[in-house]
Amino acid sequence: MAERDDQAVLRFIERFASAFAESGMPRMPARVFVALLASDSGSLTAAELADLLRVSPAAISGAIRYLTQVNLVSRERKTGSRRDVYRVYEDVWYEAIFRREQMMTRWESPLKEGIDVLGPRSPAGRRIAETLAFFEFIHRELPNLLERWRVHRDERFNS
């Protein structure tokens, strides 16, 4: 395999991380997430991430905390070591959407309460009811969409 241009890799990480940050992800978690995506192994230690991104270990720690909370990365023990390694999920987009779908399911009960409290015919109650209907629609359609994704992914990348 050809050597990679480390500066070009870092520029890619920064550009893609900026796109995530512009979409609402905090900047440092975005940088760490993209660095993990861009690593061949999909996993790096905190020291490796700090070195690659030229930041402090404390910055990595906070970013990892955020990324594990939103289920984009996992923390694992490095074999034969006391060091943690941070890994992007193998099927990261499936995992991220699946976790979001679980979160939307938890929102159903409070949304139903909101409709009752605000009144289903009030403008606010209608917005809340539409929000609930959207989440119910996503919940119903998502399994089929994810299955279609798996078939598409397998056809494209496992040929």
135-149 tens-digit pLDDT: 899 888 888 988 898
62-84 tens-digit pLDDT: 999 999 988 889 988 877 778 88
Kindly report the length of the chain. Answer: 159
Three-state secondary structure of 6-43: HHHHHHHHHHHHHHHHHCCCCHHHHHHHHHHHHCCCCE
pLDDT top residue among 70 and 125: 125
The matching CATH number, chosen from 1.10.8.60, 1.10.10.10, 3.30.360.10, 3.20.20.60, for 6-88 is 1.10.10.10
